[in-house]
Structure 1
Amino acid sequence: MKQTIIIHAIALAALVLLYGCKGETAAPQAAQAPSLPVYAVTQHDAFTWQEYPVTLEGRTDVEIRPQVDGYLEKIFVDEGAYVAAGQPIFKIQDSRYREALNNATGTLNASEAAVINAKLEVEKLSPLVEGKVISEYQLKSAKASLKIAEANNRQAQAAVASAKINLGYTLVTAPVSGYITRLPKKQGSLVSAADPLPLTTLSDIAEVHAYFSLSESDFMAFRDKYEGNTLADKIKKLPPLALVLSNNSEYEQKGKVDMVDGQFDKSTGAITLRASFPNAKGLLRSGNTGKVKIGLPFANAVLIPQAATAEIQDKIFVYTVDKDNKITKIPVNVLGKSGTDYLIKDGLKAGDRIVYKGFESLQDGAVIVPEKITPEVAVK
């Protein structure tokens, strides 16, 4: 009996202890503020690069067309070949033009003989008129015949010159040095000056021109950024341009803007500029596409790392930190890029603090523990 009472007492004590432990609730601990790197906004001179799509054209793109009709007797070059100015490209069958020249030459010889006969007649009649053997009328008639013979001779000379020109047109030579494009007509084809397509196009690409358009606002910004009394003076102050090809590689040579169109396009509101790039190696061809990068200088620009921004629905936001280390998400207006930095037009000023990274889950009004970083660290 006594043993049973002791066991019950022990069990009761255990229950009391168990319920006592369950009744004690641990007090919740306050959430600690996250420790995040904070970047101090800086301000200094910078360059921003604006990109514009371009189409490249050779310095000279010449359509080679036949000047006379005939069968294409010979093609001296292949597609894509380089030719020098004056080098033969095509030969058109010349037999009928050679015969035309022979015929014109015969007519010229006959006209020259007629001139000689007319002169002899004038020389024969002149003393007879002076001696009053014959009337003056006969001499005047002989002189008129001489003038007709001389006129016929000049026409015959022109016909020979024209026949020589047509015969010369049967050999088509390169007017400039450059590269041959496609050859739509093959040997034996009938060609004509009225053909809608040229025999080929000859592209002089020792230098290529990149044509691109600026909107009116971009053009005004460009015009206001550079010193000079005239537009030509301002163009001279432009830094060299970079050409980015369609595969995103940058062309090894820099270019220079050397032409601005005389007026804006009324339909697009844009104005065309031309930049020229040296192309001694022939790496660029007419018809290539890409983009030109124009550098615009900005004095005392507000710069922030791109990594410290978030893009949401085509807007760029940063997370500012006030004096109490409280977070506020604000939009910023970006002027352009300079390396890995954004140039800020509106929304921030030098000395403002922004969260550099780790802001993805932050809410407005949240408090953080700032970790100061330097601009050098931000670049890395």
Structure 2
Amino acid sequence: MNHIYKQASSFNSVKLFNEWIILLVLAVVLFLASCTGKAEPMAAAPPPLLPVATVTTGQQETFVDYPATIQGTTDVEIRPQIAGTIDRIYVNEGQLVSKGQLLLQISELPFKAQLNNAKAALQAAQAAVLNAQLEIDKLSPLVQSKVVSDFQLKTAKTTYQIALANVEQAKANVNTAQINLGYTQIKAPNSGYIGRLPKKQGSLVSPSDPEPLTQLSDVSQVYAYFSLSETDFINFNAKYEGNSVADRISHLPAVELVLANQSLYPVKGKIDMINGQFDKTTGAITLRAVFTNAKGSLRSGNTGKIRLGLAHDHTILVPQSATVEMQDKIFVFAVGKDNKVSKVAIAIDGKNGTDYLIKDGLKSGDQIVLSGLDKLQDGQMIQPDRKGDKVAQLISKK
């Protein structure tokens, strides 16, 4: 029994020894493998491929919009010249009327009575002249015969002169009565569109009423009034030639009218007036553009924007998408000969759609990155994609 136990114990020892040998061999192998193996280095990332364009100079035109108010060439308040009651209204609100057309009728009965009284007073005054003349005719031979004194004749002649003056006054009263009677008919002073009619038939009206009877607007042509700031006006004068205001106006190009729905009015207008002084309150000066309105689509009180074009010679145009704004400055990434980019500040002279007009910072022949600017850093190397030059050519031809 002891013999069997010793054999089993010897067998377990050999097995345990063999397992330790195997583990030791594996550890040596792994150690040698780690010592002889070399780590593969990571490959460097290639420079990014970005579109690049060459900028060129050319003639460009920018457009600036200025808020405008529109008025008819003639906007007239129709007011009564006399007090009375409206007998009849001959037009409707919004109606197109012609010059001289009857609009309203004020009751004429009291004014006819005034005219008749004035005519009667005139006849009485004329009769008084005749009576005074008869008195002179009667006294003249008596004075020559020294039957009556010369004083009586002079008194009669004075009475005659007074009678003549009374006739003239009576005639003036007749004319006044006739004018007042004419004022009972309110006629259109010019052609145009009738506004609202707040007074109705039977309403009592007076010249002292705060509200007019209606308004009449001649909109066959309309005026669009807009204002320029002092800086804009200085630039405006510098852009267009002319020795005087009238001369400069004659050289101004046509302007466009942008309507409230952002559509363009189909007919271009012409600036025909520049105000003589700046508004002290706003610091702006008013200009006026005139537009034909044959279809009557524009009315007094419309609003819109005057689009003024400014020509720029030898300027560079850069897409806004090729710029980045930082700390109130605008930059582009210029590409050097070694394909390294550098951040360049630019000065903006205006906008043309989605493009910037460059005043300073770039010159013709410079290359800029068109997109992917958010991942670029100053001094970084890139792979230029020259297909972007097609974009530059398109820009230069705008």
Q: CA deviation at 1:137?
A: 2.5
For residues 295 and 29 of structure 2, the distance between their equivalents in structure 1, rounded to whole angstroms, comes to 96
Q: How does 1:125-136 map to 2 (within 5 A)?
A: 125-136=139-150
Aligned to 2:10: none
Kept in 2, the 8 Å contact 1:242–1:294? The answer is yes
Kept in 2, the 8 Å contact 1:180–1:202? The answer is yes
Aligned to 1:116: 130
Q: 1:230 aligns with which of 229, 244, 266?
A: 244
Kept in 2, the 8 Å contact 1:48–1:296? The answer is yes
Q: CA deviation at 1:316?
A: 3.6
Task: Answer yes or no: is 1:353 the counterpart of 2:350.
Answer: no
Q: Give 2:108's aligned amino acid.
A: D
Deviations 1:127-173 (A, max 9, x none): 33334343323322221121111111111111111111111111111
Q: How does 1:123-272 map to 2 (within 5 A)?
A: 123-272=137-286
Aligned to 2:98: 84
Report the secondary structure of 2:263's partner residue.
coil
Q: 1:274 aligns with which of 281, 288, 294?
A: 288
Q: CA deviation at 1:245?
A: 1.0
For residues 325 and 71 of structure 2, the distance between their equivalents in structure 1, rounded to whole angstroms, comes to 37
Report the secondary structure of 1:360's partner residue.
helix
Normalised TM-score (structure 1): 0.90
Kept in 2, the 8 Å contact 1:50–1:295? The answer is yes
Report the secondary structure of 2:176's partner residue.
helix
Q: CA deviation at 1:24?
A: 6.7
Kept in 2, the 8 Å contact 1:62–1:201? The answer is yes
Deviations 1:255-300 (A, max 9, x none): 1111111112222222111111111221111111111111222221
Q: Greater helix share, 1 or 2?
A: 2
Q: CA deviation at 1:311?
A: 4.9
Q: Give 1:283's aligned amino acid.
A: S
For residues 130 and 267 of structure 1, the distance between their equivalents in structure 2, rounded to whole angstroms, comes to 81
Report the secondary structure of 2:71's partner residue.
strand
Q: CA deviation at 1:105?
A: 1.1
Q: How many equivalent pairs are there?
A: 379
For residues 324 and 93 of structure 2, the distance between their equivalents in structure 1, rounded to whole angstroms, comes to 52
Q: 1:254 to 1:185 in 2, by over 3 A?
A: same
Aligned to 2:358: 344
Q: Give 1:196's aligned amino acid.
A: P
Report the secondary structure of 1:33's partner residue.
coil
Aligned to 1:285: 299
Q: 2:319 aligns with which of 294, 302, 305?
A: 305
Q: 1:212 to 1:315 in 2, by over 3 A?
A: farther
Q: CA deviation at 1:16?
A: 6.2
Q: 1:59 aligns with which of 73, 77, 88?
A: 73
Kept in 1, the 8 Å contact 2:341–2:378? The answer is yes
Report the secondary structure of 2:165's partner residue.
helix
Report the secondary structure of 1:329's partner residue.
strand
Q: Does 234-243 or 348-357 show the bigger shift?
A: 348-357
Q: Does 158-167 or 300-309 show the bigger shift?
A: 300-309
Normalised TM-score (structure 2): 0.86
For residues 181 and 328 of structure 1, the distance between their equivalents in structure 2, rounded to whole angstroms, comes to 64
For residues 294 and 340 of structure 2, the distance between their equivalents in structure 1, rounded to whole angstroms, comes to 59
Q: CA deviation at 1:26?
A: 4.3
Q: 1:70 to 1:313 in 2, by over 3 A?
A: farther
Instruction: Please tell me the root mean square deviation across aligned C-alpha atoms, in Å.
Output: 3.0
Q: CA deviation at 1:193?
A: 0.7
Q: Give 1:199's aligned amino acid.
A: L
Q: 1:150 to 1:378 in 2, by over 3 A?
A: closer
Larger radius of gyration: 2
Instruction: Provide structure 2 residue ranges, at least 5 long, that are not aligned to the other structure.
Output: 1-17
Report the secondary structure of 1:108's partner residue.
helix
Q: CA deviation at 1:27?
A: 2.7
Kept in 1, the 8 Å contact 2:317–2:395? The answer is no
Q: Give 1:299's aligned amino acid.
A: D
Q: CA deviation at 1:240?
A: 0.5
Aligned to 1:95: 109
For residues 238 and 370 of structure 2, the distance between their equivalents in structure 1, rounded to whole angstroms, comes to 34
For residues 183 and 106 of structure 2, the distance between their equivalents in structure 1, rounded to whole angstroms, comes to 8
Instruction: Provide structure 1 residue ranges, at least 5 long, that are not aligned to the other structure.
Output: none
For residues 89 and 40 of structure 2, the distance between their equivalents in structure 1, rounded to whole angstroms, comes to 97
Kept in 2, the 8 Å contact 1:223–1:231? The answer is no
Aligned to 2:9: none
Q: CA deviation at 1:198?
A: 0.8
Q: CA deviation at 1:340?
A: 4.6
